[in-house]
Structure 1
Amino acid sequence: MATAPQNPSLPLFYKDLIPLNSQQHATWKTRSTDKATWLVGVNSVPLTVEEFPQAQRHFPIIFTGGDNPIPLALMGMNEGVNVFVEDDGKVTNPIYMPAYARRYPFMLARLRPEAEELSLCVDPSSDLVGEDVEGEALFDGEQPSETTKNMLKFCENFEIAGSKTANFMAELKKHDLLMDGELNIDINGSQPFNYRGFQMVDETKLREVRGDVLRQWNQNGLLALIYAHLFSLELVRDIFGRQVQQGKGPQPVPAANA
């Protein structure tokens, strides 16, 4: 149900990663864009918990399968389908753009597996950065420019939000609240479409959580995040409807012909 990275050894969107430095990239620039070409055909994007309140207004929020699940914003019901982004990268509706997508082509990464510090890296294959790009300079002499400093701060905040997200997921697993998800969509009596391969909060188990735990979750904001996830699932039919309207993915089959 989720889109896999083109290169499993690199994060989603990234085709390559190199650390920025003033010696090799002294003349590099970066430009802004109104088209998110890296989102074309990507049906799910990682989210941090801080984004749940905004994201749940636009996308279903689900969790990946496996032992180390992460939250995802579902932007299409089938792999290779994004109902909010046209083939040229134009975003068709005013939507909340996940921070994971907004930071591209930059990100913080460890230069070596054993390294403790994270370095600001960039995808050199992106047309948003480079020596011949018309835009803002990445360096002012040997020092990072204000543009680079702002991007570094954005990426640092993203990493902090990622740690909070990991704590949230650990709490869900601690109380065994995650279950294998299944979504069944039956539109106008047509053959139902079934979607699996993700996780969601088990509402039955949520109702059985002890009162003192719920009180603590209410005080620290975790309970609101859980319900943002659950309420967002109502948008699944909307995403599917957009997909059908755009002629992407499965088309409903009349019940008589199913």
Structure 2
Amino acid sequence: MASAPANTLPIFYNDLLPLSSVDHLDYRTRQIDSAPFLTTQHAVPLTIDEFVPAQRFAPIIFSAGADSVPLLLMGLNEGVNVFVDDEGKLRGPAYVPAYVRRYPWMLAKLRPDSDDLSLCFDPTSPAIGAFDEGQSLFEDGKPSEQTQGVMKFCEDFEQAAARTGQFVRDLQELDLLMDGEVAIQTPVADQPFVYRGFRMINEEKLRDLRGDQLRKINQNGMLPLIHAHLFSLQLMREIFEAQVSQGKGPIAMPATAEPTQEPVGA
């Protein structure tokens, strides 16, 4: 199969090929201790299965637009990720989204007229190739235990992504999402730095839900996820201060202007 067109590829992926027991029989996978592709990515897709562990480390927001998706905000400004250094190595404790841990693998459709998904990989990744060392992807011409584990992880991710899509549709049906805005006041500027370009839960509308609606989102597990999102927003200032400490903070504007920065969805 030919590689996928660049404009159809999700973030991080430079190319995409289906794993083949013919073309990749001698391929192996090896551990990589850095993720250079993550250094300039400030917002990463997140599934609802990850809300609870992720909310301890970074804000969870929703992308702007009709097809909103949850994002883990790893930096407030585009091109800034405060959790990794310039080589893509973790600076300290952090939550690494499953979307990142899945790379360079993913399940993808090979034919537009079929819903079947095949295990594919990014051939530009240094983690996969015809190496002398590493874990074999095939044994006796069949997927190895390593490959089966990768397949299971990708399948679990797809299922979590489907649940996440339903969660967002339920939020939209209840009209609980609104345009977000966060203002951060600092000593270096007379006016606060205002961040927009994302969506968040409308707490006022959440409080005003009818009893039957509130009971429904409590019973189907939505309520704890909503609270995890809302609690995580308190980390906006910590991310801002981390940017400043790393020399990646926004530039102060004149007192007559409003220093506006907009996190952009992935």
Q: Provide the TM-score with structure 1 as the length reference.
A: 0.93
**CA distance in 1: counterparts of 2:65 and 2:132, whole angstroms:** 41
What does 1:101-250 align with in structure 2 at a 5 Å threshold? 101-132=100-131, 134-188=133-187, 190=189, 191-250=191-250
Tell me whether 29-38 or 67-76 shows the greater mean CA deviation: 29-38
Taking a change above 3 Å as real, the CA distance of residues 16 and 208 of structure 1, as seen in their structure-2 partners, is same
Give the partner amino acid of 2:157.
F
Taking a change above 3 Å as real, the CA distance of residues 59 and 8 of structure 1, as seen in their structure-2 partners, is farther
* Structure 2 contact 182–196 (Cα < 8 Å) conserved: yes
Equivalent position of 1:33 in the other structure: 32
Report the secondary structure of 2:8's partner residue.
coil
Alpha-carbon RMSD across the aligned residues, in angstroms, is: 1.8
**CA distance in 1: counterparts of 2:104 and 2:41, whole angstroms:** 16
Count of residue pairs the alignment pairs up: 252
Give the partner amino acid of 2:168.
M
| Shift in Å, 1:188 | 3.3
Equivalent position of 2:12 in the other structure: 13
Taking a change above 3 Å as real, the CA distance of residues 8 and 78 of structure 1, as seen in their structure-2 partners, is farther
Give the partner amino acid of 2:55.
Q
Tell me whether 213-222 or 172-181 shows the greater mean CA deviation: 213-222
Report the secondary structure of 1:51's partner residue.
helix
**CA distance in 2: counterparts of 1:96 and 1:77, whole angstroms:** 16
**CA distance in 2: counterparts of 1:47 and 1:34, whole angstroms:** 22
Write out per-residue CA displacement over residues 99-150 of structure 1, whole angstroms, 9 at most, x where no aligned residue.
0000100000101222211100000000010113631111112210111100
| Shift in Å, 1:253 | 6.4
**CA distance in 2: counterparts of 1:253 and 1:14, whole angstroms:** 36
**CA distance in 2: counterparts of 1:257 and 1:153, whole angstroms:** 51
| Shift in Å, 1:189 | 6.6
- Taking only the aligned residue pairs, the percentage that are identical comes to 54
| Shift in Å, 1:255 | 6.4
| Shift in Å, 1:249 | 3.7
Report the secondary structure of 1:184's partner residue.
strand
Q: Provide the TM-score with structure 2 as the length reference.
A: 0.90
Taking a change above 3 Å as real, the CA distance of residues 197 and 254 of structure 1, as seen in their structure-2 partners, is closer
* Structure 1 contact 85–92 (Cα < 8 Å) conserved: yes
* Structure 1 contact 81–249 (Cα < 8 Å) conserved: no
* Structure 1 contact 30–133 (Cα < 8 Å) conserved: no
**CA distance in 2: counterparts of 1:75 and 1:257, whole angstroms:** 26
* Structure 2 contact 28–136 (Cα < 8 Å) conserved: yes
Q: Which runs of 5+ in 2 are unaligned?
A: 1-5, 259-266
**CA distance in 2: counterparts of 1:103 and 1:174, whole angstroms:** 30
Report the secondary structure of 1:120's partner residue.
strand
Give the partner amino acid of 1:113.
P
Q: Which runs of 5+ in 1 are unaligned?
A: 1-6
**CA distance in 2: counterparts of 1:169 and 1:257, whole angstroms:** 35
Give the partner amino acid of 1:224.
P
Give the partner amino acid of 1:87.
D
**CA distance in 1: counterparts of 2:61 and 2:132, whole angstroms:** 37
**CA distance in 1: counterparts of 2:88 and 2:47, whole angstroms:** 23
**CA distance in 2: counterparts of 1:125 and 1:176, whole angstroms:** 42
